[in-house]
């Protein structure tokens, strides 16, 4: 009974965070883009003249507005698939959050709770499986709308996502070779070791090339500028979701934005120590000089979750800055980068990682 309650609480926590990320993220992106373009942004919505409270507007009023809009299905559209496409787009992205660890363990009343939605041995492969299912949302939305712009957007989107998934998966193989596990929590724990007694063994030190490839492929997967050819406004109106309105349109926007946060979460987990705080062990800080500070389990868990959240915000902001800095690729440039740039690089990274592991631990 208690186990079920704990599992339910974890699921609710992860799901609510994943859903709230959208509202917070959009407000954050508007503010950040204003800063980048040297203008004052998102200052119309305010409560009692305080612009910061406009955040409540984005969190509450925007979803209500979307839900109350008329839901249009165009003539000649395939009703069933037109309805299902946004769901197929959003659900895999949300489901992926289940395997991402947001802390180590929390000890409450003799119970050890693993701070992860679902403990899965094949967590990293689950991430790839969900990413590959997300493609269907784009393809089917493009096809079911009975609109040429939508179809072009859907075909562009599926080609782009398939191309970059390959580089993404191959970049992850380097990480798996390094940590000898597919379980994201195990990978996170491995990064708690210290090199030379003081340097935290974060993934970026072992797999710098995989980090660059993974981040690039991840930005491409989220279909935002500079990889937004599937929806490029100047050519395709709004690409594969041209014919969507109201709540369904909101779901497509959400899946793109939650994907940005998901890429940030994966980059954090695989390359930047997940929830690790440097020199923080389960019982408190162990500084390199030999000094120790004992801490109760609750404080340690809180510090870890905070550390994960801060890293998440940093990598989300990095992707937002990329979006507001670079112009859109041409289609041939996009394909050349994926197939002739990232793919050979990631293959080289796999070979290199394997050679290093063999050299350090020869086969018995």
Partner 1 sequence: MSIPAFVVLALVTVVSALTVVVHRNPVHSACALVVTLFMLSVFFVGLDAQLVAVLQVIVYAGAIVVLFLFVIMLLNLTRPEARPAGAAPLVAAATAGAAAIVLLLAAALRRSTATAAPGLPEGFGGTAALARRLFTAYLVPFELTSLLLLVAVVGAVVLAKRRV
Site for partner 1 in 163-182 (CB under 8 A): 182
Nearer to partner 1, 135 or 229 (CB): 135
Contacts of 189 (CB under 8 A, 6+ apart): 104
| Among the listed residues 13, 136, 279, 331, the single contact to partner 1 using CB under 8 A | 136
| Among the listed residues 145, 158, 160, 346, the single contact to partner 1 using CB under 8 A | 158
Interface with partner 1 includes 322 (CB under 8 A)? Answer: no
In the complex, least distance from residue 223 CB atom to partner 1, rounded to whole angstroms: 15
Report how far residue 112's alpha carbon sits from residue 188's, in angstroms, rounded to the nearest whole number: 17
Q: Which stretch binds partner 1 (CB under 8 A): 37-45, 129-137, 229-237, 279-287?
A: 129-137
Interface with partner 1 includes 118 (CB under 8 A)? Answer: no
Interface with partner 1 includes 220 (CB under 8 A)? Answer: no
Interface with partner 1 includes 184 (CB under 8 A)? Answer: no
DSSP collapsed to 3 states, the chain: CHHHHHHHHHHHHHHHHHHHHHHHHHHHHHHHHHHHCCCCCCCCCCECCEHHHHHHHHHHHHHHHHHHCCCCCCCCCCHHHHHHHHHHHHHHHHHHHHHCEEEEEEEECCEEEEEECCCCCCHHHHHHHHHHHHHHHHHHHHHHCCCHHHHHHHHHHHHHHHHHHHHHHHHHHHHHHHHCCCCHHHHHHHCCCEECCCEECCHHHHCHHHHHHHHHHHHHHCCCCCCCHHHCHHHHCCHHHCCCCHHHHHHHHHHHHHHHHHHHHHHHHHHCCCCCCCCEECCEEECCCCCEEECCHHHHHHHHHHHHHHHHHHHHHHHHHHHCCCCCCCHHHHHHHHHHHHHHHHHHHHHHHHHHHHHHCCCC
Nearer to partner 1, 157 or 273 (CB): 157
| Among the listed residues 139, 172, 177, 342, the single contact to partner 1 using CB under 8 A | 139
Interface with partner 1 includes 35 (CB under 8 A)? Answer: no
Interface with partner 1 includes 122 (CB under 8 A)? Answer: yes
Interface with partner 1 includes 186 (CB under 8 A)? Answer: no
Q: Which stretch binds partner 1 (CB under 8 A): 1-9, 149-157, 218-226, 258-266?
A: 149-157
In the complex, least distance from residue 259 CB atom to partner 1, rounded to whole angstroms: 16
| Among the listed residues 36, 51, 113, 133, the single contact to partner 1 using CB under 8 A | 133
Q: Which stretch binds partner 1 (CB under 8 A): 51-59, 118-126, 276-284, 351-359?
A: 118-126
Beta-bridge partner residues of 195: 199
Contacts of 139 (CB under 8 A, 6+ apart): 154, 155, 157, 158, 240
Q: Which stretch binds partner 1 (CB under 8 A): 15-23, 30-38, 124-132, 202-210?
A: 124-132
Interface with partner 1 includes 162 (CB under 8 A)? Answer: yes
Number of residues that bind partner 1 (CB under 8 A): 25
In the complex, least distance from residue 183 CB atom to partner 1, rounded to whole angstroms: 9
Report how far residue 312's alpha carbon sits from residue 17's, in angstroms, rounded to the nearest whole number: 12
In the complex, least distance from residue 81 CB atom to partner 1, rounded to whole angstroms: 7
Interface with partner 1 includes 128 (CB under 8 A)? Answer: yes
In the complex, least distance from residue 155 CB atom to partner 1, rounded to whole angstroms: 6
Interface with partner 1 includes 12 (CB under 8 A)? Answer: no
Which residues lie near partner 1 (CB under 8 A)? Answer: 78, 81, 120-122, 125-126, 128-129, 131-133, 135-136, 139-140, 142-143, 151, 154-155, 158-159, 162, 182
């Amino acid at each position: 009974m208690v186990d079920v309650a704990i599992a339910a609480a974890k699921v609710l926590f992860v799901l609510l965070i994943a859903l709230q990320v959208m509202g917070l993220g959009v407000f954050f992106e508007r503010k950040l883009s204003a800063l980048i373009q040297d203008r004052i942004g998102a200052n119309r919505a305010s409560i009692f003249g305080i612009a910061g409270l406009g955040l409540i507007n984005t969190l509450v009023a925007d979803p209500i507005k979307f839900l109350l809009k008329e839901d249009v299905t165009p003539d000649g559209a395939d009703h069933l698939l037109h309805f299902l496409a946004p769901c197929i787009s959003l659900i895999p992205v949300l489901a992926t959050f289940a395997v991402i660890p947001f802390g180590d363990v929390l000890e409450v009343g003799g119970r050890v709770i693993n701070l992860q939605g679902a403990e899965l041995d094949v967590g990293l492969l689950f991430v790839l499986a969900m990413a590959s299912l997300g493609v269907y949302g784009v393809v089917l939305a493009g096809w079911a709308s009975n609109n040429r712009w939508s179809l072009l957007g859907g075909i562009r989107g599926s080609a782009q996502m398939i191309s970059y998934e390959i580089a993404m998966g191959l970049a992850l193989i380097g990480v798996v070779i390094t940590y000898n596990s597919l379980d994201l929590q195990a990978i996170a724990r491995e990064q708690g070791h210290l090199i030379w007694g003081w340097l935290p063994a974060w993934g970026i030190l072992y797999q710098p090339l995989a980090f660059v490839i993974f981040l690039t492929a991840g930005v491409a997967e989220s279909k935002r500028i500079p990889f937004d050819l599937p929806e490029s406004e100047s050519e395709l109106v709004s690409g594969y979701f041209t014919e969507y309105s109201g709540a369904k349109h909101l779901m497509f926007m959400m899946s793109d934005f939650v994907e940005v946060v998901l890429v940030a979460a994966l980059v954090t987990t695989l390359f930047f120590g997940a929830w690790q705080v440097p020199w923080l062990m389960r019982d408190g800080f162990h500084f390199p000089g030999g000094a120790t500070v004992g801490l109760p389990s609750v404080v340690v868990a809180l510090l870890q979750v905070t550390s994960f959240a801060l890293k998440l915000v940093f990598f989300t902001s990095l992707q937002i800055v990329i979006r507001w800095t670079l112009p859109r690729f041409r289609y041939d440039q996009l394909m050349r980068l994926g197939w002739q740039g990232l793919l050979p690089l990631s293959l080289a990274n796999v070979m290199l990682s394997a050679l290093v592991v063999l050299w350090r631990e020869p086969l018995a």
